[in-house]
């Protein structure tokens, strides 16, 4: 299974929101955050990247484009 970078997000919160939206559409994704353990009293800081399976990339891009 080959994973393709879907998008880089400026916050973990934004990446998690899109991850949940993709999951609701049946697309599994993997999130990589730039700051491990970046949650706490200041909330989610740092960015995140979402990766999806190669066969899902086109549909995932369409979903992301509809909310931007």
CA distance 66 to 68: 6
Overall number of domains in the chain: 1
Pairwise pLDDT comparison (34 vs 50), residue with the higher score? 50
Residues 6+ apart with CB under 8 A from 18: 6, 7, 9, 29, 50, 64, 67
Q: What CATH number is attached to the domain comprising 26? A: 3.30.70.1530
Predicted local confidence at residue 41, as pLDDT = 46
What range does the domain containing 57 cover? 3-67
Predicted local confidence at residue 37, as pLDDT = 54
Predicted local confidence at residue 51, as pLDDT = 98
**pTM confidence score:** 0.80
Give residue-wise pLDDT tens across range 5-49.
999 998 888 999 999 999 999 999 999 987 655 454 445 567 889
């Amino acid at each position: 299974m080959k994973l393709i970078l879907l998008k880089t997000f400026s916050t973990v919160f934004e990446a998690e929101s899109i991850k949940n939206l993709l999951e609701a559409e049946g697309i599994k994704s993997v999130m990589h955050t730039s700051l491990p353990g970046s949650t706490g009293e200041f909330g989610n800081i740092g960015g995140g990247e979402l990766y999806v399976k190669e066969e899902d990339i086109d549909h995932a891009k369409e979903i992301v484009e509809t909310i931007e």
